Structures are given as C-alpha cells and as structure tokens.
Structure 1
Amino acid sequence: MQNSAAPIMDEKTLRWMPWVIAIAFFMQSLDGTILNTALPSMARSLAEDPLRMQSVVIAYMLTIALLIPASGWIADRFGIKRIFFSAILLFSFGSLLCALSNSLTMLVAARIIQGLGGALMVPIGRLIVLRAYPRSELVRIMGFITIPGLLGPLLGPTLGGWMVEYLSWHWIFLINIPVGLLGCYAVKHFIPDLPGGGRTHFDGIGFILFGAAMVLITIALEGLGELHLPHMRVVLLLFAGMGCLAAYWLRA
C-alpha cells in the first residue's frame, strides 16, 4: 500500500507537497481557538448572550470529532486527491458562510460545514504523506507538517483578538478564503493521484462507537473549561467515552 507512487513523482511535487498539507493543518487547527477571544465581540454584533456563543466553538469541534473516524474510508472510496481538494474547498465555503452569518443559528450551521472540511483535511493529509513518501522520509515529513498544526491553537486567541480590535470578527473567517483557494490550486498541481488502500466495506458499528467516543470525550473536556458542567457529569461523560472506545478496540 505504501509509497508505490513515490518513484514516479517529480522533485517539484515532493518538495511542495508537505507545504500544501502543512497549510491545511494550520488552517484547521487555527480555527479551533481563534474564536476564543472574539466571542464577546461576536455576541454584541449578533445581539446574543455571550454564554450561548460557546455553541459556535463546540459545533466545530464536535463535527471534527465525529467525522474523523470515517475519513480514511471516504478517501479510499472517492479518491485521496479529490477528497483533500473537496475538504479545503468545503472549509473555505464554510468560512465564507461564517463571515456572512447574521444570526447565531446561521453561524453554528456554517461552523458545522467548516468542520466537515476541517475533519477531512488533517487525517487525509497524513494519509497522503504515508502513501507518497518512503519510510526513510516519514519521520522528517511528518514532523514538518505537524509543527503548523501545533502552532495554530497557540496563535489563534492572539490573532483573533487582534482582528477584532483592528478589523472585525468577520475577518477571522474571511482570511481563510484566499488561503483556501490557494490551497485548492496547490492540491491540483502538487498532490498526485495516489492509490487507495483497497477498503470498500464501511464498518458502520465501528464508526458509531469511535465517533460516539470522540464526541463524548470532547464534550467532557469542553465541560471542564468552557461549558462549566458539573464535575460528576464530566466524569460520567468521560467514562461513557472511554467505554465506547474500549468497545471499539475490542471489536477491532
């Protein structure tokens, strides 16, 4: 499965491919935290209770947690390059809808669309690296594309606060559009048509178990911070999530 395409790729493709994937990683991770300092300003603009604005962050995180388990099968079923391109395009389209939102309901729906794209970008980006490069290069390339993904959450709150202060909260989302369009162009030119992994059967039960585990654990972790859930409820959510994860592991 691995790396059969590497020998036929030219040097230019091998050089630029990690940059394309790294930018996608950065976009996805940045949007997980960039709203944190902008929520009060967004609440005033939308005439909403600031506490209700947390649903904008949670909708994005839960969508990513739910869809990631299916990303490998989706890539094998419909093509790695096609899905990676579609993921960046969908993320950019969701960003545009977020910027145009004039109500909390519309903003949450737009964030779900954005999350659908974000959920596919990171795992499929890693899949591209695994299938395009020889084993000897994997550690170096994986390290390179992971660093932007780690920087995104750190820079997000500061960048979001700066944009709200000097521009408006809409630019938090508008900035993704030119980057996303550039990413789509780069995917077309620097991401090869890699072979699939041969998976045709979709494990629906496994998807439900793993997806439920990710959602429950995500809610529990958010409950410790932004949601301020009672400690007992957080513990129950964590146990339920770990139980689903254990059931998935036993099934696998």
Structure 2
Amino acid sequence: MDEDELRFAAGALADAERAVAMTGAGVSTASGIPDFRGPDGVWTRYDAEDFHISRFEADPEGFWDDRIALVEELYGDGREPNRAHEALAALEREGHIEGVITQNVDGLHQAAGSDRVVELHGNGERVACVDCGATDGLDAARADDLPPRCRRCGGLLKPDVVLFGEQLPDYAWYQAHAMAQRADAVLVVGSSLSVEPAASLPREAAARGATLVVVNRERTALSGRAEYDFRADATEALPRIRDALADY
C-alpha cells in the first residue's frame, strides 16, 4: 500500500460527515473462516443447491444434516475476531464510521466490539422458528434430533441466515440502504462486490458522489470507480488506516 495514498484515503474518511463500512468474506478469512466463492471456497466442496430454501422446505432433516456439517467446517474449532474486525470496531468507537454493513454471518464484528452492525445475510449463530418467529442459539439444532424444533411452539427451526432462493430481510435491507444513502464516504473491505443486491449499495453511493475506498486482495467490480483502491489484506490495511486517521 502506498503510504501517501493511504494517508489521503484516511483524510477522505476524516473529512466525511458520515462514513460507513461494508464488509465481505475477506475480512473473516484471517480468522480461519473460508470464503464461499473463491477458487478454494466452500462451494467447491458443497453443492450450493443443498442449501436452497426449497430443499429446506422439502427435506428439512436432510437439509439440517448437511447444514450442521457445513457449520462444523466453518466454525468447529472456534473463531475469533482478527485485527481487521478490531480496527473497524475502533473506527466506530472513535467516530470515524457510523457502523458496519456486512455480508458475513459469523458475528465476529460484534465479538470485536462493533456496536452498529447490519447483517444483510443474517447470523449463522442463530436459528429462527418458521411458525412463531422466536430465535434461539445454534445449539438448539442438535445432530441427534433433526430437524430441530422450536422450544416455544414446536415449529420447525431454520438457520437465521438468507438461504439461496430467499430475499434479504426487509428491515436489514432498509437499514443498510439508509446508511449507504446518507454516507458521503464508503469503506468497502474484503468484498468482490459481485453479489447483488449488496453490491448496489456502494455503487449507488458512488453515483451520488460519495468517496469510495476499497480494500480487497483482488480487483473488484467497483475498483474502476473507487477514489482509493488498495489491493491488500484487510488485517494489514485497516490498522494502518486507523493509525493514519489519528493524524486528523
């Protein structure tokens, strides 16, 4: 990362009246959570169609059997926030960003101390009853008693995440859209910006004139429109951006 460019990007975030961060899988890979769509991603080892809403509705027991295996691979050894999560929490705490919009479902932003986190795709640590809407921890889904049932009403439990074939939760989308619309600077971290409708948030913000700062290992769909486009590891780049903001 060019030091001058980094300092200028930090200055743009400091000058913004409202800045917001948007994160993808690249923020969590350093915590041991594999990405889904990369060359060695999760969908190279699992059939994505097995996690479609239609599969859940038609075969909830088989769906949950595969889901538990997937969760064990993703989170089985326990995962902790990394320096990127911690830097974003510090940026919010210090007033540099309004909050985080995330495509991730691992809950690591909250674990690192971020207060305002909009989870576009839900949270993989929770389950929700399809009948009464009550939520519970993932431990309610036990491999020896599938499909899991709601402790309150006996209804079928579903992972509290957006499955293939489902729309984003209305309220999460409303919150994220409102945050992006108000922002005059958007910090995108660890996302290829290839998944819609999430990718439309920074794109629309940039079209309105918001400053776009992108940190990602690979070129993104919006790299050509970003004022600052860093090809870097989030765990290295974000602490440096935070340090640079101390000068403003």
The structure in which a higher percent of residues are strand is 2
- Please, what TM-score do these two structures have when normalized by structure 1? 0.28
- Using CA pairs under 8 Å that are at least 6 residues apart, name the structure with larger relative contact order, 1 or 2: 1
- Please, what TM-score do these two structures have when normalized by structure 2? 0.28
